[in-house]
Every structure is written in C-alpha cells, then in structure tokens.
Amino acid sequence: MKNTVISVRNLVKKFGNFIANDNLTFEVYKGEIFGFLGANGAGKTTAIRILSGLSKPTSGEVIVAGFDARKQPEQIKKNIGYMCQKFSLYEDLTVKENIMLYGGIYGMKKQLIRDRTRSLLERLQFEEYGDRLIAALPLGLKQKLAFSVAVLHEPKIVFLDEPTGGVDPITRRQFWEMIYETAARGITVFVTTHYMDEAEYCDRVSIMNEGKIEALDTPAGLKKQYQAGSIEEVFISIARPGKN
Amino acid sequence: MKRFLVFVKKEFLHIFRDVRTMIILFLIPGALILLFGFVVNTDLKNATVSFLDLSRDEMTVKLTDKICSSGFFFRGENLDSYQEIDQALRGNKIKAVIIFEKDFSRKLISDGKATVNIITDGSEPNMATMATNYISAIIADFNSELVTNGTTATLLVQPEVRMFYNPSLKSQHMFVPGVITLIMILICALMTSITITREKEFGTMEALLVSPLKPIQIILGKIVPYFILSFVDVIIILLLSRYVFDLPVKGSIILLLAETMLYILMSLSLGILISSVVNTMQQAIFISLVGMMLPAILLSGFIYPIGNMPKIYDWISAIMPPRYFIIIIKNVMIKGTGFSYIWKETLFLVLFTLFAIVLSIRKFNIRLQ
C-alpha cells in the first residue's frame, strides 16, 4: 500500500477568465521523486503555490501532508520545505546565521539546529565555510546549501522550483545525489525542471500543457506510451504548439 | 513568538552589516542637524554696513555707534557721495548702506523729525529683509532713548519688530523640528520600503511566505528594528539640540516622544504601503524620495512658510503628514503647549496611519491570492 502525501482532485484555479490550472488530478507518494514538467506558462508555478499553501484553489480538493490547502495552509507550511529558482539564502548573513534563521523560523530548538548544522556542514564538506558570508560562496555551493536548509526541519515534502538553474553539470549531478539521499530518508521531493535529462532521474513525471496534466507515468512508461527514445521527445510531442 | 524574534534578529543583522544603512541611520541625522544648525544659518551676524553721513553731527555719530556696537553689524568704509553707493553694494561685501540726510540733528530738533535711508542689496532678499528689520529696530530703540532723555517728543521711525517664541531669532528653532520630520520620513518610509522590496527582488520573500511565519509577523519583523532605531535617532537629535544649540524642550517631553512615536509609526506604514505597490528597490527609492522627501522638505512649512505659497500648494500640503507633525513638534518643543492645542493634528496623523495600514493589508492579501 503506497502512502499518499499529496492528493489533488479536480483542482481548478482561475484568474478572472484565465484558467491557470484546469481540472488537475494526481497523487504523490511518500519518499517519491516527483518530476513536474511543463513549458513556461503551463501552470506549474500556480500549482506549486497552491500546494505550498500560498494561494487558494478556485475549486477542487487539495490535501498536502494530510492538511487541506483551502482551510489549513498554515499547517501545510509547517510540514513542507521550499526552494525556489531564485536563490533564497541571505547574502549578507553567514552560512551558520542563515541556517539558524530558517531553523528558528520553522520552530526548531537551538540545540537541534546546532547539531544538524554540524552534520550538514560535514556532509557537504564545507566545515570551513560555516562563518563565511553567503555572498562569498560560489553558486554551486549556494544551491546545495539552499537545498540542505530547505530540508533542515525534516519536512514531509520538499518543493524544488527549478533548483538547478544556472549551475554547472558537476554540481547538478551532486545536487541530484542529494535529492536521492533525501528521498531515501522518506522525504518526498516535488521538483520542476527544464532539464530533460533530470526528468529521467525522477520516479514519476507529469507533463503539463496549457493548464492541464497531459501525461503522468514513470519515465520508462512515458517513453513506451509515446514511442519515444527520451523524455525530451515525449515533452516536445506534448508541448508542441498546434499539435492537435 | 520565538520565530518572530529570530526574524527580528535577522533584520538587525541586515542593518548592522550594511554600511550604507548605518550611514543613513546614524551619520546623516547628526550631520544634518549640525549642518543646518551651523552652516545654513539664517541669523544675521556680522553683516557689513557702510554709512553715507551727509551731516556728521552729534546725533548721526551716536546712531552710527549704536548700530555698529549692536553685535549684528560690522562698520564698513564711510562713503562720501551717492555715486559711491552702487559700487559699494556691487562689491558683495557690503550688505547695506545707511544714509543720514543733511542737517540731521538740526532737523530733528527743529522739525521733530529727520530721515534715515536704508539701502540694501536686494539680490539677497533674506539678508536684505533681515538687515532692514534689525536696523529699524535699532533706530526705534534710539528714538525711545531720545524720548526718555527729553530731547524730542516725536519719533523718527516707528518699526514694531518683535519675535515671539524665538526672541534671539535663532534659526535652530526652525531647523531642529524640520530635521526630525525629514529624517523620520527618510529612515522609516525609505528604509522599510527598500528592505521589503529587497526581499522580493532576491526571492527570499517567497521563502518567507511559504514558511510558517505569518505575513503580519513578516511585516512587524521589518518594522520593529526601524522603529527602535529611529526612536534612538530622535533622542540623539534632541540631545544634540539641547547641548549643542542650547535648545531645550519647553513642553512635556513625554508628549513630544509620544507624538514622535506616532509619526514614526505613520512613516513606517507609509513605507510598507510603498513596498506593497512596487516590485523593485529602484521604484521604492524613487517613490520615497520624490513622493515623500520632496514634499516633506518643500511643502511642510519646514523651509518655506505655507502662508506664502499659492493656494494650490497649500491644499496639496494639507494632505501631507509632515506639515502636521511640524506644527505638533514646534508647539511642544518651542512654545511648550499641551495636547489640547495639537489634538487636531494628532488626530490627522492617527487617521493617516490607519489609512496606510488598512490599504497595505488589503494590497498584501490581493497579492497572496
């Protein structure tokens, strides 16, 4: 029996006459790496905002980590982590101060934050960076750190919105190793990306187009269904304008 | 509450780490006060006057001495003819020329009146007006001495110049309230709108919004450090004005501080309102400077009296909070009046604050939709 952590049924989100999310229905399971693909403007960001309690659905049922997105957004926020495409650590604070801040915002005890900071810096092998300002770190390190901070409080789900934008291939690979480790710990990873090779690393992938989910399966299943050699081909055949 | 304190601590770190913020917070207020107090001094002091004495008798010598020993004027060269007046004033050194007519003493005694002409350099209107006023006052004083000495019963000139509340005509009385008004708008509105839009620009606002922090905690967390620091600023300014310019607070210090807190709160809510309608720091800076600072300088009555403005500016300034705060602070600091004299202005500030808060909360909610 799979353990459902996100359950979306008939989600509709309208802005005036514009339908950003058109009747989405899907489930995400515990410990899964769920790839959320779609061209720019397909409605990904809107859906993530609803799932993370930032915005309310127009209609439909959205349950995240056991809480209703319409009625209990505050409860959802306590149980998720979030890392957006723009870098979300403070440049003028040190590594440790950033960790202290986010740990504190998520209500963690000081001693716990200290312990996790130590093991986190050890794991990333940058103990010596602890007291440096974020501004002084290279981008790759920043991104890895931002991800570690987003899961510092051991959330049930972590949302990653294009986490690897602008980093080099080596860092991207290391980043995905961190994602695997996190998922192995039982944290569900909900990730959007524009890199199709990354989509291949996901357990399951959904592809959105014009507000609808057009396809949802394992990467292997999708390739079989669309008779394609790669997820990239699947994506293009779905998102290509005027394909109907 | 603990989450909130962690957040406030972070805001203080931002402030203390940023040199520019620290300069604006602690260097500029002191510098402005000293600058306005010492350099932009509109008091008349040591203006040079020349004399064209056509009679050179007992009276004119006496009056000349009186003017030159008043402490306001330096004695310039003596002129010999009307032709030299123009040249003297052109030299830029001489601010006024005083002319005693021929047979001054004789006319004064026989006719009961004699004429003194005062010619000033109109290219410096402020200086010219002040010099005229001061000289007239000195002549009036001279007249009354003549009367008490029984020399004559009539008066030469009769200027009625008396400065209420500011008998020594110290311009600091004008600038200290003005600078407080200005600095508070600068720090509170500009700095809070910058710090909030900075989070938007860097994407950290997004991370804060998805965190368990409530929007109201985020806003309060932004306000609290600036509230505390601008209050410290006010106290620094008041201490400077007390001990450097010898300008004590005449009214209730508690009332003054309470009114200042209200004004700080109003400026902060303006800053939040600004940040809720713009998306970049540049827009925030532009609106704060053009929309808040300029009116605070030009339309508040700080430098230019509102009564002298065309009616339309008067109306515009009527909705500018700095105008009311200047009235309040002058009343309390300089005249020493109580709350009953300033309740209307206070009420306006309260209403304006509520208006800004309600509007920004509405904006914030719309954005979250």
Complex-level ipTM? 0.85
- Number of Cα atoms under 13 Å in the Cβ half of residue A206: 22
pLDDT at B160: 40
Q: How close, in Å, is residue B267 to chain A by CA atoms?
A: 26
Nearest to B202 among A52, A86, A97 (CB): A86
Partner-chain contact B368 A77, CB within 8 Å = no
Specify whether the CB–CB gap between B52 and B75 falls below 8 A.
no
Partner-chain contact B209 A101, CB within 8 Å = no
User: Could you count the other beta carbons within 10 Å of the beta carbon of residue B157?
Assistant: 16
According to DSSP, the β-strands at A212-217 and B47-53 are: unpaired
pTM value? 0.76
Look at the block and give the residue holding tokens 């890392």: A83
Flag whether residue A53 sits within 8 Å of chain B, measured between CB atoms.
Answer: yes
* Residue pairs spanning A and B at CB distance below 8 A: 76
Mean pLDDT score of chain B: 81
User: Could you count the other beta carbons within 10 Å of the beta carbon of residue B175?
Assistant: 24
Partner-chain contact A80 B210, CB within 8 Å = yes
Flag whether residue B14 sits within 8 Å of chain A, measured between CB atoms.
Answer: yes
Task: Give the pLDDT band of residue B170 (cuts 50, 70, 90).
Answer: low
Residue A90 with chain B: CB contacts under 8 Å: 10, 14, 202, 204
DSSP B248-307: ---S-HHHHHHHHHHHHHHHHHHHHHHHHH--SHHHHHHIIIIIIIHHHHHTSSSSS-GG
Residue B207 with chain A: CB contacts under 8 Å: 82-84, 88, 102
pLDDT at B163: 40
Q: How close, in Å, is residue B5 to chain A by CA atoms?
A: 9
Q: How close, in Å, is residue A143 to chain B by CA atoms?
A: 13
pLDDT at B41: 56
Secondary structure percentages of chain A, helix, strand, coil, to 5: 40, 25, 35
Residue B213 with chain A: CB contacts under 8 Å: 105
pLDDT single digits (tens) B269-295: 999 888 888 888 888 888 888 887 787
Flag whether residue A70 sits within 8 Å of chain B, measured between CB atoms.
Answer: no
pLDDT surpassing 90 at residue A188: yes
Give the residue from chain A lying closest to B209, CA to CA. Answer: A54
Residue B212 with chain A: CB contacts under 8 Å: 74, 77-78, 105-107
Q: Which CATH superfamily is domain A31-55+72-239 in?
A: P-loop containing nucleotide triphosphate hydrolases (3.40.50.300)
pLDDT at A242: 56
Q: Give the CA-trace dihedral at B310, B313, B314, B316, to 10 degrees.
A: 160
Nearest to B17 among A84, A92, A106 (CB): A92
Domain ranges of chain B: 2-40+170-368, 47-149
Residue A210 backbone zone (phi > 0: left; psi -120 to 50: alpha; other: beta): left
Partner-chain contact B14 A97, CB within 8 Å = no
Interface test with B, best of A78, A79, A105 (most B CBs within 10 A): A105
Residue B6 with chain A: CB contacts under 8 Å: 100-101, 104-105
Flag whether residue A96 sits within 8 Å of chain B, measured between CB atoms.
Answer: no
Instruction: Identify the residue with better confidence: B256 or B313.
Output: B256
pLDDT at A186: 93
- A173: CB partners within 8 A, 6+ apart: none
Q: What is the mean pLDDT of residues B49-63?
A: 85
Give the residue from chain A lying closest to B218, CA to CA. Answer: A105
Flag whether residue A56 sits within 8 Å of chain B, measured between CB atoms.
Answer: yes
Residue A54 with chain B: CB contacts under 8 Å: 209-210, 368
pLDDT at A237: 86
Give the residue from chain B lying closest to A56, CA to CA. Answer: B369
Reduced to 3 states (helix: H, G, I; strand: E, B; else coil), residue B337 is coil
The pair of structure tokens assigned to A92 is: 């003028």
Give residue A158's Cα distance to chain centre. Answer: 5
CATH code linked to domain B47-149: 3.40.1710.10
Choose the weakest-confidence range: A142-146, A169-173, A210-214, B154-158.
B154-158
pLDDT single digits (tens) B304-362: 677 777 788 788 888 888 889 988 988 888 888 888 888 999 999 999 999 988 888 78
Residue B204 with chain A: CB contacts under 8 Å: 88-90
Q: What is the mean pLDDT of residues B4-28?
A: 88
Residue A101 with chain B: CB contacts under 8 Å: 6-7, 9-10
Report the percentage of chain A scoring pLDDT > 70.
98
Choose the weakest-confidence range: B58-62, B164-168, B195-199, B247-251.
B164-168
Q: How close, in Å, is residue B25 to chain A by CA atoms?
A: 18
Choose the weakest-confidence range: A17-31, B38-52, B65-79.
B38-52
Q: How close, in Å, is residue B17 to chain A by CA atoms?
A: 7
Task: Give the pLDDT band of residue A159 (cuts 50, 70, 90).
Answer: very high
Q: How close, in Å, is residue A170 to chain B by CA atoms?
A: 25
Residue B208 with chain A: CB contacts under 8 Å: 105
Task: Give the pLDDT band of residue B91 (cuts 50, 70, 90).
Answer: confident
Q: What is the mean pLDDT of residues B214-224?
A: 88
